[in-house]
Every structure is written in structure tokens, then in C-alpha cells.
Amino acid sequence: MRSPSVSEAAALPQVTLNHRWLLFSSIVVLSAASAVFAWRQNHLAVIGGPISVAKTLWLNYMLITMYIVPFFLWREKTLAPATRNLFGCLFVSFALRAPIELWIIFSTRGWRCAYGMTHDLVTLGLMIYLRWRMSPELAWRDVAALRVATLLQITLLVEMFMAWQFSKLASPAEGIYFAADTPHFRLVNVASWIAVSVGYPALLYLLSRSREEASHA
């Protein structure tokens, strides 16, 4: 069996060719839903409290990187099974977390930032373990997809930092789940602006670059 060429190894397979329209359509729909959610939080007296623009963008980014992107890469059949499994585990991990977290938040107000941080840490550890188990040949073949995985791992680290900072400023027991655009949450909002300023371009670059490389494969 011949070794893959540089372009073959660097290309994120058909997810950017056959499925890219659905991928980006999903991102657009989710972003619109996030905007509506932010309007609801800021204009209606609902649990969770107001949410700043920075935190809305970060929330949207997290949903994209923890649900949409992993799902599409998980279902991409041209990736190696081990690579697909890595993204599938990430998607399933957050898919299982979502109903539990939402029920606790809106039914009991018992959610704590430590719960989310623990889940993020466990998920990060799982991703590291699955990548460690990959052979060098496999990692080279799916290098473009694994670049995306690296970004998602960094995203989890940033989210843990965000949750830790938020936990020092607000209490879920009081029904406050989001950082408002106030001086009280200044540090969290500044950190969020920095994170989204780096995260969105990085994600767009990795997806678009992989599409370009795939077209030349």
C-alpha cells in the first residue's frame, strides 16, 4: 500500500465537499437561534439573567465546536474509524450532558460551574487518550481533521477557565447563569472577547483551508 501524499494527508475529506453546505447551513441556523436566545434573555424576565454580546458569541462558538463540527466529522466516512470515533465520543459526551444540564438549570437551579468543569476535563482526557492510541500513520493520514480536534481541545481548556472565573462572580442558585454586560463581569467578558476573536477565525481557517486542500487532492 502506498503512503499518502502531502495533499491527501492534509485534506479534510469529503465533509468539505459533499457535506459542506449542510455544515455551514447548520452553523448559520444555530447562530440565528443564539441571537434569538440572547434577545430573550435580555428583554424578558427569564431564568438565567441577561447575557452580554461577548458571552452570546462564546456560547454560540461552544455549541458549534462541541456539537455541529464533531457530528459532521463523526459521520464523515472517508476518515479513519479511529478518527471518527474521537469526534463521535466528543459529540456523544456533550449530547448526553445537554438534557441533564438543562433540566438541572431550569427545574432545580442546582447546576454548579464545577459540574461543567468536571465534564469538560473528563471529555478532554478522553480525547487525549484516543489521540494517543492512534498510530503515527493514521494521524498523518487524517492530519487536517486532527488539527480541528486540537482546536476543540483548546476550546475545552478555555471553557474551563471561563467557568472558573464565572463561578467567582455569580451563583446558579440565584438563577444567574450568564455574564451580563456590566462592570461586575468585566473580566469574563474581556476573556470572552479575546476567545471568540481567536476561535472563530481559527475554526473558519481550518475548515476553509481543508476544503481548499481537498479540492487539490
d(CA 4, CA 133): 20
Q: How many CB atoms neighbour CB 97 within 10 A?
A: 16
Distance of CA 149 to the CA centre of its chain: 10
Q: List the grid coordinates of 84.
A: 471518527
Angle of CA points 115, 117, 122, to nearest 5°: 95
| Residues 25 and 17: beta-carbon distance below 8 Å | no
Nearest alpha carbon to residue 146 among 79, 66, 205, 96: 79
HSE, CB side, 13 Å, CA atoms: give it for residue 52. 18
Q: Which residue has the cell 466528543?
A: 90
- The runs of H, that is alpha helices, within the chain are 6-10, 20-43, 53-63, 69-74, 81-103, 113-132, 136-141, 143-167, 186-215
| pLDDT tens for the 217 residues of the chain, in order | 444 444 444 445 444 445 778 888 999 999 999 999 999 999 997 888 899 999 999 999 999 999 999 999 998 888 899 999 999 999 999 999 999 998 988 788 788 889 999 999 999 999 999 999 988 887 777 888 899 999 999 999 999 999 999 999 987 777 788 999 999 999 999 999 999 999 999 999 887 765 554 444 4
